[in-house]
Structure 1
Amino acid sequence: MRPAELERLSVGEAADRYVELVRARTLTGALAVSTAEVYARDVATLVELAGEATVLDDLSGEDVDAILLAFARRPDGRRSGAQGQQSATSQARFRRSISALFKHAALAGWVQLNPMAAATVTARQRGGLRAERRALTREQAQGLIGAARTLAGEPGQGRRDQRTELRDALIVLLLSTLGPRVSELVRANVEDFYTNDGVRYWRVFGKGGRTRDLPLPHDVALALDAYLDRERPSSPGAHDKALLLSWRGRRLARGDVQAVIERVQRRVDPTQRRTVTPHGLRHTTATHLLADAVDMDAVRRVLGHSDLSTLGRYRDELPGELEVAMRTHPLLRPPRKP
């Protein structure tokens, strides 16, 4: 039986009251305006997902689970044309926002019980919805690499000083074949690439001040030299050492890399195309090197991990790999002839 003081507000009414209180806190300096607007945006999303006319007190833990999962599957509108789900950071922020609303609702007498206490969806489950972070299949990865190769071989379009085809191809090839962290990629300088005994190397400055020297596959080395010789803009100033520059001569930011991947993806055959992030390409590198029986310690060194056990997080399942393993089982192969 509900207490007499319980107000059976709709989700829309409760949201309006709560957002008004949140914005009032900015007047006293208790809350930053930008933070208040984040709360307001998340609460508006809650109204959309739960239904404006739904009574707030009628929402159960199962309803909250459904709302959290629905939010996780929503396209990330911060990226143009993005089809992937929300980032783990956005999901955690949304959960905090609606948790704060329900906590206030319980104190204000809008709900008898806080339904967040009965929510069962874990961060692992929400994160698992992000398909764009999983490794690409061999066909998908080869489609993306093929598009990058084609892009590198095409004559540039538009003004010479505004072309980015070779740069975009190089970015995709480096991410797909060497799997660097996106921070390592955008921090790279021209001087970090050198030649030793006819082999091109990239000295990667990684986490914890550690460095690793990675030999570039032949095709990647050719793309690097083509970009440096024909397209990379020369600009005086602090960014002159940066490998990856915009046509205005500024070092690329982390967010720019995702836009490059999506631009190259549009050239991939639709049957091979799948949304992927820079970190998803890091998974792709690890997965296919390990699937091809490359030594685990070598893969660890390519990715820049200090501990071999970390590789387990980067090794994703590939369709059909168990069937292939059973067809070529080492104990069932015919004995070698003397």
Structure 2
Amino acid sequence: MRPTRLVPLTVENSTGRYADLIRAKTGTGQLSPGTAEIYVRDVLTFCEMAGPHRVLDELTGEDIDEVLLAFARKPDGRRRVPAAASAPQSAASQSRFRRSLTVFFRHAVLSGWVQLDPMPAATVRARERGGLRTERRALTREQAGGLITAARSLADDPPDAARRDDQRTELRDALVVVMLATLGPRVSELVGADLEHFFTSDGVRYWRVLGKGGRTRDLPLPPPVAALLDAYTAEGRPRLDRGREGRALLLSWRGRRLARGDVQPVIDRVLRRVAPADRRAVTPHGLRHTTATHLLAAATDLDAVRRVLGHSDLSTLTRYRDALPGELEAAMRVHPLLPP
């Protein structure tokens, strides 16, 4: 039931209270830390764009439209490649930001911070996705192969004379890129991995992935990935004499667990080693799309792909499947109703 008494709060106060609530939900298991981080980042961005000292209840649909437009033009600062960093927000990011505001204002209504929800009056919407995307997320086989080859070659590089042995991160960077490109984990799952999450059963190495909603999945590692993992843990992972970072798999050379924001710079560093003809900027989520696209293109069982990615529903796979160059022509060459 909607409260009868209005509690006039500024945008800054209301978003701060909401952010505290979201963070508290991670302690009860209602939200994963990665999901909570996204919600908090979106409402704090909204606070900055809407004006922290304005009264939340005074915002109209037109004000929300201005915020949505400002966010759409906001450069994607997560990227370190200059050309990509200056690009505006993608349609997916715009849609996610609008959803975050929708949930925030629903809470504001129930809490008595606003009398009316302004979101239904907002008219700005991101371009709907569907069919063929104007910009593919998945890398082609050549692009993905070039990235993986560049990553695996890091382990063979001679030591950099300008850096101490305990400051080398080549094996770690190689492992990060190869795992993202071949296994397709969420970036939060990758940085949250601990050493004890990896085990061997009947001669096969597995990664027990801690996924969304507290769900786990045991993911078998292809032999090249398992070999790279062993090389990193034996030679490239810092030796810690303190328990502050626990048993985190991926560490900085200072011995701190990698954060989500540390992963994109790793990819960008490896990309610089790829031949220009096969180089294309990509995000961690784009590598997740790459895994799904190529597993599905190879006619891998749909349910197996779903389990690799950690989806609860098969329908989610349709959002991760990108068109590959030449696949329609190849399908028509081997049409099942026509003789060869």
TM over 0.5: yes
Counterpart of 1:147 in 2: which secondary structure? helix
CA-to-aligned-CA distance 1:176-213 (integer Å, 9 cap, x gap)? 11101111101100111111222211111111221111
Alignment of 1:75-86 (within 5 A): 75-84=75-84, 85=87, 86=89
From the CA coordinates, give the structure whose radius of gyration is larger: 1
Residues 94, 183 of structure 1: CA spacing in aligned structure 2 closer, same or farther, 3 A cutoff?
Answer: closer
Deviation of the 1:122 alpha carbon: 3.3
From 95, 120, 126, the equivalent of 1:122 is 126
Residues 35 and 191 (structure 1), Cα distance of their counterparts in 2 relative to 1, 3 Å cut: same
TM-align CA RMSD: 3.5
Q: What is the aligned partner in structure 2 of residue 134 from structure 1?
A: 137
Select the residue among 133, 148, 151 that pairs with 1:148. Answer: 151
Aligned equivalents of 1:256, 1:122: Cα separation in 2: 28
3-state secondary structure, aligned to 2:166 = helix
| Structure 1: runs of 5+ lacking an equivalent | 1-24, 42-63, 98-116
SS of residue paired to 1:330: coil
2:78–2:261: 8 Å Cα contact kept in structure 1? Answer: no
Match of 2:330 in 1: 324
Is 2:306 the counterpart of 1:306?
no
Q: Specify which of 251, 255, 266 is matched with residue 245 of structure 1.
A: 251
Aligned amino acid, residue 326 of structure 2: G
1:203 maps to what in 2?
208
1:213 aligns with 2:236: no
For 2:13 and 2:222, the matched residues in 1 are separated by: 55
Unaligned runs of 5+ in 2: 1-9, 17-43, 53-64, 102-120
The one-letter code of the counterpart of 1:293 is A
User: What SS is found at the alignment partner of 2:205?
Assistant: strand
CA separation of 1:138 and 1:75: change in aligned 2, threshold 3 A? farther
Aligned to 2:171: 166
1:265 aligned partner: 271
1:187 corresponds in structure 2 to 192
SS in 1 for 2:206: strand
Deviates more, 1:242-251 or 1:133-142: 133-142
**1:329 Cα offset (Å):** 1.5
Contact 2:159–2:165 at 8 Å: present in 1 too? yes
- The one-letter amino acid of 1:310's match is T
2:234 corresponding residue in structure 1:
229
CA shift in 2, pair 1:30/1:209, >3 Å:
closer
Per-residue CA shift, 1:193-242, capped at 9, x if unaligned? 11122221111111122111111111111110110010100221231300
Change (3 A) 1:38 1:92: farther
Distance 2:269 2:209 in 1: 25
**SS of alignment partner, residue 124 of structure 1:** coil
- Amino acid in structure 1 at the alignment position of 2:315: S
Change in 2 beyond 3 A, CA 1:310/1:155 = same
- Deviation at 1:73? 6.9
Query: Is the partner of 2:188 in helix, strand or coil?
Result: helix
**Is this contact kept in 1: 2:179–2:225, CA < 8 A?**
yes
Aligned residues: 267
Taking the aligned partners of 1:90 and 1:293, their CA distance within structure 2 comes to: 32
Residue pairs, 1:63-82, within 5 angstroms: 68=69, 72=72, 75-82=75-82
What pairs with 1:278-289 in structure 2 (closer than 5 Å)? Answer: 278-289=284-295
The equivalent of 2:261 in structure 1 is: 255
Contact 1:83 1:275 in 2 (8 A): no
For 1:149-198, what per-residue CA distance to the aligned partner results, in whole angstroms no more than 9, with x for missing partners? 11122233221111100000000110111101111101100111111222
TM-score with structure 1 length normalisation? 0.68
Provide the C-alpha distance between the structure 1 equivalents of 2:249 and 2:134, rounded to a whole number of angstroms.
Answer: 30
Whether the 8 Å CA contact 1:134–1:284 is kept in 2: the answer is yes
Superposed displacement of residue 29, structure 1: 6.7
Whether the 8 Å CA contact 1:234–1:240 is kept in 2: the answer is no
Asked if the contact 1:76/1:83 (under 8 Å) is kept, the reply is no
